[in-house]
Structure 1
Amino acid sequence: MDALTRTLKATIEAADHAITAEDFDELMKFYADDATLVVKPGLTVTGKDSIRRAFVAIAEHFNHSIVVTQGEMQVIPGADVALVVMETLLQATDKAGEKIEISRKATYVFRLIADQWLCAVDNSYGTTLLDNIVEP
């Protein structure tokens, strides 16, 4: 694993820990000021304040029980950005007490800003966003 991949893997793992701990102030340190989050297919939010509010709502949706981990990853660097394609694993308990396990192939875009890799696009749905597109 090269240095960039190790750095981004550690960054994503730390962000996952912040999500699981619902430490949204810490989580926002991983995002660029103008970052965009895909909340769900058809809904994106931009900017740290909006992303923070979205994560608060996501925690509520998952009954404050979400645990996020990552699996395999590929990093494609170019200029001052890096595309990360990564298996994202979500575990939670719904309001009825049922266990939920979700596996996604996420895509993230990181941008190098002041010597720090920050998430510019957070798309945990990856290419499945294309699954619901209706052609005109």
Structure 2
Amino acid sequence: MEYQQIIKAIKAADEAITSEDFDALMEFYADDAALVIKPGLIAKGKENIRKAFVAIADYFGHNLVVKQGEIQVIQGANTALVIMETILETVDSKGEQARTTRRATYVFREELDGKWLCVVDNSYGTDLLGVA
């Protein structure tokens, strides 16, 4: 499998989040995708995922920057598990900069046209374990 297509898609999605280009961002997701917004809160389907990202942009004062760190891709059939470092950079209302690194997990599915789309977006990774 050519993992570069998935890695390029992730980079483009992160750039779309940073620039708040939610139309471009929705091209990253399958119609039936799920997004972990925060532990215990999941958005399903593109319409709800889009609304979630608009709310996330508002929450972070429209200054969220998303980047990638180390990436591992594991493929089985037409499905790929991506384990990676997701780096979130923000500035709060007092001008304080913050940087958070998460060990995220994503699931991609290869569509009939050969395009890989995200079906599960979990930037919290295994940190969801043990969260009530």
Q: Give the TM-score, by structure 2 length.
A: 0.95
Q: Which position in structure 2 is the counterpart of 1:122?
A: 121
2:129 counterpart letter in structure 1:
L
Identity of aligned residues (%): 58
Structure 1 match to 2:42: 44
Deviation, 1:5, is 2.0
Instruction: Give yes or no for the alignment of 1:63 onto 2:61.
Output: yes
Matching residue of 2:82: 84
Q: How does 1:103-122 map to 2 (within 5 A)?
A: 103-113=101-111, 114-122=113-121
For 2:93, the equivalent position in structure 1 comes to: 95
- 1:31-87 deviation per Cα after TM superposition (whole angstroms, max 9, x unaligned): 000000000000001000000000000001111001100010111101111000000
Letter in 2 for 1:47: G
Give SS of 1:6's match: helix
* Structure 2 partner of 1:9: 7
AA at the equivalent of 2:82? V
User: What secondary structure does 1:8 align onto?
Assistant: helix
SS at 1:132 equivalent: coil
**Matched residue pairs, number?**
131
In structure 1, the gaps of 5 or more residues are none
Q: Which residue, 19, 22, 35 being the options, matches 1:21? A: 19
Query: What is the rounded CA distance, in whole Å, between the counterparts of 1:45 and 1:100 in structure 2?
Result: 25
User: What 5-or-longer segments of structure 2 have no aligned partner?
Assistant: none
TM-score, normalized by length of structure 1? 0.93
* Counterpart AA for 1:55: F
- Aligned CA-pair RMSD: 1.0
